[in-house]
Structure 1
Amino acid sequence: MVNRVSSRWTTPILWTLNEFGRQRFSELERRITTITPKVLTQRLRQLERDGLVVRTYHPEAPPRVELEIIALGRSLAPLAATLAEWSVNLDKVDQARQAYHARERASYRRS
């Protein structure tokens, strides 16, 4: 479950559904502009299977499908907020990685 929740697209999908409420696929796709339709479909199916999102089919002409975050998905909001707050440290993580790679390259050259 940790892998699923921490996947690249789970947080933006859940955040968008929590922030804007029930949405159609195309609305969700417009709001998360960098996700491909294939990946959005895959993630939504996983989130539905895990009980975080519900998909409602309306048998109309044309058919309408709406997606909505449910209580279990909403319960992740405090975790997502904490991660968002911590994300101010990502520059420090990047600096640490660059310093590490620089040390590794220097060590490799001396060998």
Structure 2
Amino acid sequence: MLLPAGPAIITRAAGPQRLARAMSILGVPMLLGPVFGPVLGGLLVDYTTWHWIFIVNVPVGILAIALAVWKLPSGGALPDAGRLDTRGLIPHCLVLNQRQNFESVRSRVNMPT
């Protein structure tokens, strides 16, 4: 659910004249992260302890929040933003919850896929 939020924020912050450059800068880490993240995480855990994942990621998260506060424009919702669709959200969450429950039961019972 967080993956689309980054491009949406960058699109709004960059504006139409700098959109292509902003998306290319955002796209490279999104493509390389799933490739190098598990490898670097595995090396980190193999040669140190699992605590180092937090020692590395907490400062990175703090830096990201600080850069977002500093660089992104402050602004509320878009003027044409609608209300949250609770009539659609609640059934959607219930269906996702039931699917997850079914998947956990299927893994315990060894049902064929």
By the TM > 0.5 criterion, same fold? no
Greater strand content: 1
Greater helix content: 2
Task: Report the TM-score when normalising by structure 1.
Answer: 0.31
The answer to which structure, 1 or 2, has the higher relative contact order (CA under 8 A, 6+ apart) is: 1
